[in-house]
Chains A and B, each alone.
Chain A
């Protein structure tokens, strides 16, 4: 992805010199990268390498101490989360925390209530519950099964992750950031979510996937960015990146295989 096709159109997302520190810890350090529209970027790195912090910075949940984030050429650095969503960026959380007391489909009412959805549908979204049920079907909740009406607190992890994905999709984003969506899921569950992400890509969505599940990620990613101690240590095609000695040291060394 990198700077190779600078002649092409401006990137959808451009991050430059981004830095975030927590007390003495530098969670993200001088990070630069660009993401063209319609591409899927995988972000990998050992635990604590700053991946979630990067997501929080882009989506406005934390402010950088330095650097710049541009979306569609617009400086969105330091914007509050709701304005970032309004521009068309949505995210999932690594730790899913649904509204446990609500039925699964009611969890989607809140994103469907957002000004962005109102704007995109021109206020004619019809019944939000019906839209919510459609969305749940899209992420693999069986239609007409009881599961969509079950309290979120009673759902197994696989469904909670799908619900989290549906929440992000409900906002009709242009860029969707998935923070370890696959963690805690079985191989079969991952295999059933991959086609949903591929479909999003076909619809022209731009995607950033934070992942520890490299095999599944590399199959769908257009490019990979590797972080270690908040720094970019490699960027490019998956196969190339994994050959880099720095990556092997930092990432695979700590993974132990």
Chain B
């Protein structure tokens, strides 16, 4: 006699999907609590932390934004290995506006967010037709090319970068700003994905011929997705620039491309929550392992492997499944 695991959806989620047929506070809580965790967690804990750990939270949130942006592109089947393109463009844009025109962060950040989104979309427009690894290769190479361009032509401060930029008034302002943007992005993107528009986007990655035959210009929709993702990435860059009071070639560094992918894979691709969780595990972990010196990378790599092998579906989908389904063993004869 063999045993098989049977999974049954808890009724509440199913009922809540199309029509609202919730009957009690308990059911409301069941649905609302998971969404409230990141809100409460992010906004309430940060003020209690030490300066050092606030710094870590900020850098984590930057990576989380890049990871969520990566996930958005992935929804449309666009595999990006160059999130640092978005970060670097946003960083240089905010830095230039501040350095050359003397604009304050309250203007440079929104301008760099929208402007960075537009510039990156224009840069990637010619290759939106490419799929899978071909698109990935271009995104990987573009930021490297741009940083060499800055080095060779010595524009935008060359290898020195732009220094002495306007900082945020205080650390707490910065923490709240990035966390609010992070939450708005998270819930905004989840909403977009759950809408009819989101079905079109995910349809492109599923079966683009089917979407094309439905009279939809898939290049136009891919461009919109890139704009959404790139804007978020550029915000992260602009924010980071004012945080560090510096914009330079490190903005195009490989770190900003690789960490978001790792975070999304560990946390669960396609959920937006997953990349956030992934970033909030991996970035602080990498900080905590700093004490190990040279062995840091070894342990860090080990943790990555454990996560990916242990929970291949990703942490968030795993938790979600446990939360929404009852499991039991049944006999198979």
Contact = CB atoms under 8 A, between A and B. Distances in A.
Interface of A: 59, 61, 80-82, 85-86, 90-91, 93, 97-99, 101-102, 106, 109-117, 128-129, 167-168, 170-171
Given A80-B212, A170-B214, 15 more contacts: A90-B213, A93-B213, A97-B210, A99-B199, A109-B196, A109-B199, A110-B211, A114-B215, A115-B215, A116-B215, A129-B18, A167-B210, A167-B213, A167-B214, A171-B214
A97 B203 CA distance: 11
B299 interface: no
B200 interface: yes
A110 B210 CA distance: 9
Contacts of A80: 212, 217
Nearest to A59: B213
Contact of B196 (A85, A86, A128): A128
A72 to B, nearest CB: 17
Interface string B191-212: 0000011011011001101111
A110 B216 contact: yes
A113 B216 CA distance: 8
Contact of A97 (B196, B202, B207, B212): B207
Given A106-B199, A128-B196, A114 B210 contact: no
Among B18, B203, B213, B216, residue most surrounded by chain A Cβ atoms (within 10 Å):
B213
B212 A82 contact: yes
Interface in B216-234: 216-218
A147 B218 CA distance: 29
Contacts of A101: 206
Among A90, A110, A111, A115, residue most surrounded by chain B Cβ atoms (within 10 Å):
A110
A113 B200 contact: yes
Contact of A171 (B209, B211, B215, B218): B215
A106 B198 CA distance: 12
8 contacts: A98-B210, A106-B199, A112-B196, A113-B216, A114-B214, A114-B215, A115-B215, A115-B216
A86 B215 contact: yes
Contacts of B197: 113
B283 to A, nearest CB: 31
A113 B199 contact: yes
Contact of B203 (A59, A81, A99, A116): A99
B216 A82 contact: yes
A109 B216 CA distance: 12
Contacts of A90: 213, 215
A91 B210 CA distance: 10
A167 B216 CA distance: 13
A213 B214 CA distance: 26
A110 B199 contact: yes
B18 to A, nearest CB: 8
Leading 6 A-B pairs by shortest Cβ distance: A85-B215, A114-B215, A111-B214, A81-B212, A82-B217, A110-B214
B207 A91 contact: no
Interface in B238-268: none
Contacts of B217: 80, 82
A47 B18 CA distance: 45
Nearest to B211: A110
A141 B212 CA distance: 25
B209 A110 contact: no
Contacts of A106: 199
B7 to A, nearest CB: 15
A90 to B, nearest CB: 7
Contacts of A102: 199
B212 A110 contact: no
Interface in B167-212: 196-197, 199-200, 202-203, 206-207, 209-212
B171 to A, nearest CB: 44
Nearest to A168: B213
A180 B218 CA distance: 26
A167 B207 CA distance: 14
A85 B213 CA distance: 7
Among B206, B210, B211, B215, residue most surrounded by chain A Cβ atoms (within 10 Å):
B215
A138 B90 CA distance: 51
A97 B211 CA distance: 11
Nearest to B203: A110
Interface in B269-312: none
Contacts of B209: 61, 93, 97
Contacts of A59: 213
A85 B215 CA distance: 5
Contact of B206 (A85, A99, A170): A99
